[in-house]
Structure 1
């Protein structure tokens, strides 16, 4: 178990390093401190959030108890049809890059959790562009904001892994 924790900690540290180097992208951590879990109010978490091309969505969960699927369309999302996903993740800490405009649909890989509301749809808007067509630079405070979010993500990953190591 300790080796698993060490490997997960190293992965989380690598994620933090990546976050610190991508100061312009917004890092959305689904469910905040609850993570990707049926106890999270994912619908409330999305209120007032704007997702843009170039942003990343992070899903943190116990890999032993949960998984993540990206679904193809609204119908599959609404009906919790998990039979034909675009992709499935079981890592416990997954990053989804928002690399194009449009709507993306995510669900728990467990049918019962999807039906309980553990699913997320994201409308991805165009990235910020100034009138001359050049991408707008992030405000000076964004680097420290990303640093705080990255630190927060690290603590979430540590907490999830500690819960797996020490029941």
Structure 2
């Protein structure tokens, strides 16, 4: 329970309890930026704690931002992965980033998905020795930037348009940078109390 000296906005975004207990999300009484800065400047201990919490929050965001920002794309939207559909028109205007997910939905046993190179895409050629995805709900994590090509290897499905080409851009999330010794969060004092 906060006492009368505790600012009303004390860690409204995240409250860290004794640095080892679970993080609680608290949403209430959001201060204005001016109020927050004024309070921090008026209280050096609060300023030090704010910096520590900011560093912790920055680390958490750097770790989780790629998954938060990732987009799941259902290839072909409601049509799914099928013949007689223009997948290049479907992909046009979409921005694919590292961390995004492609989901190929189709009736199991009717289609499949092969990842191929540019030549295999142009020639609708299934790569030798490569096993296709066949679940009917195939999920592909776009883990690296660059050009990606996918085809259906069943009969002449690729020849009638069941193929997809996309370009994957580097992740939008900032890369985490190592902490310098001066910005590392100090260990709590053994005599510190949880509030």
TM-score range, shorter chain: 0.5 to 0.7
- In the TM superposition, what are the counterparts of 1:2-151 in structure 2 within 5 Å? 22-71=67-116, 73-84=117-128, 86-130=130-174, 133-134=175-176
Structure 2 stretches of 5 or more lacking a match? 1-66, 178-195
Give yes or no for contact 1:42–1:118 (8 Å, CA) kept in 2.
yes
Which protein is richer in helix relative to its size? 1
Structure 1 segments of 4 or more deviating over 6 A? Answer: none
Aligned residues: 111
Q: Tell me the CA shift for residue 82 of structure 1.
A: 0.9
TM-score (norm 2): 0.53
Q: Distance in 1 between matches of 2:75 and 2:176?
A: 29
Q: Distance in 1 between matches of 2:113 and 2:156?
A: 13
Q: Measured at CA, do residues 55 and 87 of structure 1 come closer, stay the same or move farther in structure 2, by a change above 3 Å?
A: farther
Bigger RCO (CA 8 Å, 6+ sep)? 1
1:95 counterpart SS class:
strand
C-alpha RMSD of matched pairs (Å): 1.9
Give yes or no for contact 1:69–1:85 (8 Å, CA) kept in 2.
no
Structure showing greater radius of gyration is: 2
TM-score (norm 1): 0.61
Q: Tell me the CA shift for residue 87 of structure 1.
A: 4.3
